[in-house]
Amino acid sequence: MTDATGTSVPGEPFDVLIVGGGPVGASAAALLQLAHKDARQPLRVAVLELNRPAATAPDAPLDSRVSALSRASERILTAIGAWPLIPPSRMQPYERMRVWHESVQPRSTDVLEFDAAYASEPNLGYIVENRLIQATALTAFESAGGKVIAGDLSRLHVHDRHVELATSAGTLLCRLVVGADGARSSVRESVGLAAEKSSYRQTAIVANVRTELPHERTAWQRFLRTGTLAFLPLADGCSSIVWSADDCAAEPLLAMSRSDFERELLRQSDGVLGAVRLRTDRQSFPLRKLTAHRFTAHRCALIGDAAHVVHPLAGQGVNLGLLDAAALCELISAAVRTREDPGAQRVLRRYERWRKSEIEPITLAIDGFNRYLAHGAGPLSRIAQRGLALVNRTDEVKRFFITRALGLAGELPEVARHPPSGRPSIS
């Protein structure tokens, strides 16, 4: 039973309650809701979200918090009906990635170039505003009959057969709680799931810029000895920069005037896109790494940044989180269809094994790129720098990396495996 605000009255548990309606939690909720929409006994799914983004006017300037979404993510967002809600004027497909180290010339053959055409794909992915991914996924969930509860989790208590959550919207009960509440997850802390946390001692500086030369539907990334500078192409012809700079370098970059910062951008990008003009203020994000030792506990599962936070240099955070969401929902749905408890230990264990085995090698690889390409001048760094040029000359290896970038490697959930037209219906 629910009251007028949609809040569950204790005694009437939700089957699944997702804490955090960010891009990952909202998508998980929509996947579950849609998979059981027409079932005789539909699953009762709700999202608790503290800070729902306001609707974006179609002609509003593009926000500077964007994500590079992989093909797998596109398929998941299409399956829940969020993808068609993203206006084409606000998403930019990118067809190439050009990655180079500061020791080589940006237009030389030593630049690693990934082209969608190598994999016979129309593009490598899309650059989309985070708030739009979140907003469209929440809308898709509600359109399928799901409930978004505005509120903040303060405490939770796990009982044998249910979980009790104290929130600013009242007490909520559920059979399974999913922590999708980001890097500082209250769910993770409340159930006592320990995590390995460390600082990259870097700060990501994010802004939108206009460049003198066109972005050529290309994601540009230069490894500097003090971090990484990326230019992601935007639908309005501008680019979103993500400059992951060592803290000691980031501090003066944030403090300097706009025109000095623009000159630094020109210098550190090696002029590859010509002169650069800031279109938005600079925002900064301290970069931290986090890996939860376990992704599940009794009647609890973690997905997205609540479970793992990786360095943004490979643009993988949302993409990995959406695959967590799809994997967990696939296992829950299969269990519920055979009348099993959605919080059954067997289901949660399988989810944990599946996603941990995918996430761990990716985290190691991303950290390796950061340590040896974005830093250091030792022998391993020199080998890694030469490796970029070697990858560029080896078609097989290149194809391997493109498949990874498309998010189509590893053990994929069903919903991410096929293009929407070739996939069996989600229900």
Ligand X SMILES: Cc1cc2nc3c(=O)[nH]c(=O)nc-3n(C[C@H](O)[C@H](O)[C@H](O)COP(=O)(O)OP(=O)(O)OC[C@H]3O[C@@H](n4cnc5c(N)ncnc54)[C@H](O)[C@@H]3O)c2cc1C
Task: Give contact residues for ligand X (rule: CB under 6 A).
Answer: 19-25, 48-51, 67-68, 130, 152-153, 180-182, 186, 204, 206, 242, 285, 304-305, 312, 315-319, 321
Question: 215, 55 in Cβ contact below 8 A?
Answer: no
| CA-CA-CA-CA torsion sign (337, 343, 349, 351) | positive
Instruction: Please state the closest distance from residue 359 (CB atom) to ligand X, in A.
Output: 12
Nearer to ligand X, 96 or 336 (CB): 96
Phi-psi region of 9 (alpha: psi -120 to 50; beta: other; left: phi over 0): beta
Helix axes 23-35, 71-79, angle to 10 degrees: 50
Question: 291, 196 in Cβ contact below 8 A?
Answer: yes
C-alpha separations of 124 from 110, 119, 417 in Å: 21, 9, 16
Instruction: Please state the closest distance from residue 193 (CB atom) to ligand X, in A.
Output: 15
Instruction: Please state the closest distance from residue 234 (CB atom) to ligand X, in A.
Output: 12
**Which DSSP category does 408 fall into?**
-
Instruction: Please state the closest distance from residue 143 (CB atom) to ligand X, in A.
Output: 19
Distance CA 234, CA 227 (A): 22
Instruction: Please state the closest distance from residue 139 (CB atom) to ligand X, in A.
Output: 14
Nearer to ligand X, 109 or 198 (CB): 198
| DSSP-derived secondary structure for 204-222 | EEEEEEEESS--TTEEEEE
Instruction: Please state the closest distance from residue 82 (CB atom) to ligand X, in A.
Output: 13
Nearer to ligand X, 153 or 366 (CB): 153
Nearer to ligand X, 73 or 381 (CB): 73
Nearest in space to 237 (alpha carbons), one of 210, 277, 257: 210
Nearer to ligand X, 104 or 229 (CB): 229
Nearer to ligand X, 336 or 359 (CB): 359
